[in-house]
């Protein structure tokens, strides 16, 4: 392949990169209220409009902030990948943009689960891979009587989680542990467990599910979260890179269900997806 052929493929991707940065810049100015050159702001809005986003002002401030966090997260992870492609896979990020961005994005998980009847009332949640604690905080706010135990082995994330939980006023309901889920020893302690497959290699996930069966109360539910593979081949490939880079495994619905059944779960099924997030859930129940 010639250099000219390579650049013919790369050039549209560079345009997409610039467009995403411009959209993020426009959202950043909106959220900060910072004054900027009027001609430049107009140019940013032209980029958004050309990309199919003519009215970012129509988003609520919280939604604008969420979109901006996602864009910043993707750029931060891409920059880390570009600068250190040889590092071993695993969740070893220290950049606050990555840690907080991923954490803020995870806050959508509890409401998505709560839309299913199996998760309408949760009183004790095991949050595997709690990170900076935002999923645990969202769960505690959604299920007001729930106690949450968050597990993680990455201390830089847990350090931020302790601060986030304290500032949320939830120290009495959220417990954070520096513990590998494969070393979990709790028995009959939870009625719900959240397990993100995109942070666990498959061999560790198999071990973890055996521990989680014991940790759940009879009749309790586990929710496996996985990235739903998009139809576009390039999007599929980049999602796989992102997942493997973060230490996780790429599972389809069938394989997820097989792992749950092998671990002893019953009533295994997919949850119907809701919303634009590329997250899919496969759930299973501990026999009563």
CATH code of the domain covering residue 187: 3.40.50.150
Residue 91 lies in a domain: no
Do 81 and 119 reside in the same domain of the chain?
A: no
Do 147 and 261 reside in the same domain of the chain?
A: yes
Do 178 and 240 reside in the same domain of the chain?
A: yes
Q: Which of 30, 58, 86 is the last residue of a domain?
A: 86
Per residue in 227-248, pLDDT (tens digit) is 887 889 999 999 999 999 999 9
Residue 195 lies in a domain: yes
Do 116 and 236 reside in the same domain of the chain?
A: yes
Residue 225 lies in a domain: yes
Report the domain count for the chain.
2
Do 111 and 60 reside in the same domain of the chain?
A: no
Q: Which of 86, 108, 143 is the last residue of a domain?
A: 86
Pairing of β 190-196 and β 174-178 = unpaired
Tell me if 107 sits within 8 A of 86, measured CB to CB. no
DSSP letter string, 187-250: -S-EEEEEEEGGGS-HHHHHHHHHHHHHHEEEEEEEEEEEEPPPSSHHHHHHHHHHHHHTT---
% of the chain with per-residue pLDDT over 90: 86
Do 80 and 106 reside in the same domain of the chain?
A: no
Mean pLDDT of all residues in 181-189? 96
Do 44 and 165 reside in the same domain of the chain?
A: no
Report which of residues 276 and 67 the model is more confident about: 67
Do 31 and 149 reside in the same domain of the chain?
A: no
**Where in the sequence is the domain holding 250, given as residue range(s)?**
100-285
Per residue in 62-119, pLDDT (tens digit) is 889 888 988 999 999 999 999 999 999 999 999 998 999 899 889 989 999 999 999 9
> For 1-29, b where at least 16 C-beta lie within 10 A, e where not — what string?
eeeeeeeeeeeeeeeeeeebebbbbbbbb
Do 12 and 126 reside in the same domain of the chain?
A: no
């Amino acid at each position: 392949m010639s250099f000219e052929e390579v650049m013919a493929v790369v050039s549209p991707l560079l345009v997409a990169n610039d467009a995403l940065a411009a959209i993020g810049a426009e959202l950043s100015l909106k959220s900060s209220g910072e004054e900027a050159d009027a001609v430049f702001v107009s140019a940013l809005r032209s980029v958004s409009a050309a990309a199919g986003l003519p009215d970012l002002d129509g988003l609520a401030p919280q939604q604008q902030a969420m979109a901006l966090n996602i864009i910043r997260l993707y750029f931060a992870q891409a920059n880390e990948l570009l600068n250190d492609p040889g590092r071993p896979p695993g969740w070893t990020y220290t950049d606050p943009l990555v840690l907080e961005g991923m954490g803020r994005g995870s806050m959508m998980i509890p409401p998505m689960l709560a839309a299913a009847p199996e998760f309408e009332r949760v009183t004790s949640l095991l949050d595997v891979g709690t990170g900076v604690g935002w999923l645990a905080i969202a769960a505690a706010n959604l299920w007001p009587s729930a106690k949450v135990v968050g597990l993680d082995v990455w201390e830089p994330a847990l350090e931020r989680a302790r601060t986030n939980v304290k500032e949320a006023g939830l120290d009495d309901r959220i417990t954070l542990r520096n513990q590998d889920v494969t070393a979990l020893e709790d028995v009959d302690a939870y009625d719900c467990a959240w397990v993100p497959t995109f942070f666990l290699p498959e061999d560790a996930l198999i071990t973890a599910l055996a521990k989680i069966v014991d940790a759940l109360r009879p009749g309790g539910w586990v929710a496996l979260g996985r990235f739903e593979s998009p139809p576009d081949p390039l999007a599929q490939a980049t999602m796989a890179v992102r997942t493997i880079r973060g230490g996780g495994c790429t599972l389809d619905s069938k394989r997820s269900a097989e792992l749950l059944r092998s671990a002893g779960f019953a009533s295994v099924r997919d949850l119907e997806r809701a919303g634009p997030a590329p997250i899919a859930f496969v759930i299973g129940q501990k026999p009563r």
